[in-house]
């Protein structure tokens, strides 16, 4: 047995390839400050401020009370796999239930997709700025993440993506609408990504978790809906954002048929199965009333407009209007550069001195320097309070602390 004087065994090298998620680090610190009696405006997490719809909760409770909490098939219960297949078909993606793998969160689905697609030395094109878990997972799988940028509308820059395809490129990771920018590709740009994947023989891992949270149209297009990428796309989605089911940890992966059996074996090794009562809640979410989805999207649009207008009214701040998701990614460079400050320092001051929890843009990649991510999945009163505090922080910036 190890004691305090005994050195612990060395960890496997692969764990050093992983990096964390900035939002959770900020959340922990913000929570600690709140316990000290501070008033904190939480804009760091991408978590809806409402509960899941009553019919979703009722179905989970009913299933649990009826004993639906035993082992089930690793790929998922038939009812949920069928509901997911029907949902993706409504987006133009040709898929059947036997192409669906249910996972404990969309993040797990991304991880499984990367483990299945990325080999040692493979280059993986990842959005920068983008969700920090993508490059972390690519490194863990032995790959080399290569960042591509966003365009003038904060959407994934397909021109830059194309320019970075090289002989070692194996996988393209797409996230549209994008976290952290909220930028989204239209159908024409998405079709270009599909064509590039076909031309260069690439696998596309598309994280469509925000596909319903768009402010023009019904759903964001998926590369899996286009001929060039149908048979080379691993489509990831989940229930956390759209259906306010963050704690349910329910996601899924839609893949070409030849991939499903190996992916299911990976799932057997990783989690065995997703609890069936959670899956029953997913069926209720997809097939039941969609009132909450519609009302939340309308609420997010109003909050987006409030936050964008408020931030743009602050001297030295430029905040593009996001097309989807529930984040803004304002640029503070004009206010920071003359004072020699970084976005990390600004995020620190905002939290410690002004009680606003936001995420440093560098947490999402090198191209995020000078920017902060704010979630507007919060009440309008919180957003108004945050804007006032951000304005106060920017007005008081100086090199000295």
Q: Which residues pair with 127 in a beta bridge?
A: 148
Q: Per-residue b/e over 276-287, b at no fewer than 16 CB within 10 Å?
A: bbbbbbbbbbbb
Give residue-wise pLDDT tens across range 78-119.
999 999 999 999 999 999 999 999 999 999 999 999 999 999
Q: Half-sphere exposure (CA, 13 Å, Cβ side) for 290?
A: 12
pLDDT of residue 398: 67
Element of type H or E holding 354: helix 343-354
The half-sphere exposure of 314 on its side-chain side, counting CA atoms within 13 A, is 28
pLDDT score of 3 more than 70 = no
pLDDT in the model for residue 7? 77
Question: Mean pLDDT over all residues of the chain?
Answer: 95
Residue with more model confidence, 1 or 140: 140
Give residue limits of the domains in the chain: 14-45+292-395, 54-287
pTM exceeds 0.85, yes or no: yes
- pLDDT over 70 at 195, yes or no: yes
Asked whether the beta carbons of 221 and 186 are under 8 A apart, the reply is: yes
Which CATH class for the 14-45+292-395 domain? alpha beta
Residue range 195-223: average pLDDT? 97
* Sequence-distant (≥ 6) Cβ neighbours of residue 296 within 8 angstroms: 48, 50, 244
Q: Look at the domain 54-287 and name its fold.
A: 3.40.640
How sure is the predictor about 401, in pLDDT bands with cuts at 50, 70 and 90?
very low
């Amino acid at each position: 047995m190890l004691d305090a004087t005994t050195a612990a065994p060395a960890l496997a090298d692969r764990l050093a390839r992983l990096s964390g998620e900035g939002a959770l680090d900020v959340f922990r610190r913000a929570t600690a400050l709140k316990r000290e009696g501070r008033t904190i405006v939480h804009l760091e997490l991408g978590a809806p401020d409402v509960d899941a719809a009553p019919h979703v909760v009722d179905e989970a409770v009913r299933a649990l009370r009826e004993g639906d909490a035993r082992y089930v098939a690793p790929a998922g219960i038939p009812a949920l796999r069928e509901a997911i297949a029907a949902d993706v078909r409504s987006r133009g993606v040709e898929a059947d239930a036997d192409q669906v793998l249910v996972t404990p969160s969309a993040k797990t689905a991304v991880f499984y997709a990367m483990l299945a697609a990325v080999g040692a030395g493979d280059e993986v094109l990842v959005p920068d700025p983008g969700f920090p878990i993508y490059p972390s997972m690519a490194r863990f799988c032995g790959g080399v993440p290569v960042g591509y940028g966003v365009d003038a509308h904060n959407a994934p820059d397909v021109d830059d993506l194309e320019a970075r395809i090289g002989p070692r490129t194996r996988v393209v990771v797409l996230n549209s609408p994008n976290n952290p920018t909220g930028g989204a590709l239209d159908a024409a740009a998405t079709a270009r990504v599909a064509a590039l994947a076909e031309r260069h023989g690439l696998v596309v891992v598309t994280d469509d978790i925000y596909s319903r949270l768009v402010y023009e149209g019904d759903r964001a297009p998926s590369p899996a809906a286009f001929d060039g990428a149908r048979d080379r796309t691993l489509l990831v989605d989940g229930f956390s954002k759209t259906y306010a089911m963050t704690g349910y940890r329910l996601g899924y992966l839609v893949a070409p048929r030849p991939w499903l059996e190996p992916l299911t074996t990976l799932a057997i090794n990783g989690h065995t199965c997703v609890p069936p009562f959670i899956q029953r809640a997913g069926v209720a979410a997809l097939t039941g009333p969609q009132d909450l989805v519609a009302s939340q999207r309308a609420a997010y649009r109003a909050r987006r407009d409030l936050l964008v207008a408020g931030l743009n009214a602050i001297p030295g701040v430029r905040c593009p209007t996001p097309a989807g998701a529930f984040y803004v990614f304002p640029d503070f460079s004009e206010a920071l550069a003359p004072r020699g400050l970084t976005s990390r320092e600004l995020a620190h001051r905002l939290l410690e001195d002004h009680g606003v929890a936001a995420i440093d843009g560098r947490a999402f990649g090198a191209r995020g320097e000078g920017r902060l991510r704010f979630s507007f999945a919060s009440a309008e009163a919180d957003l108004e309070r945050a804007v006032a505090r951000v304005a106060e922080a920017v007005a008081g910036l100086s090199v000295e602390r």
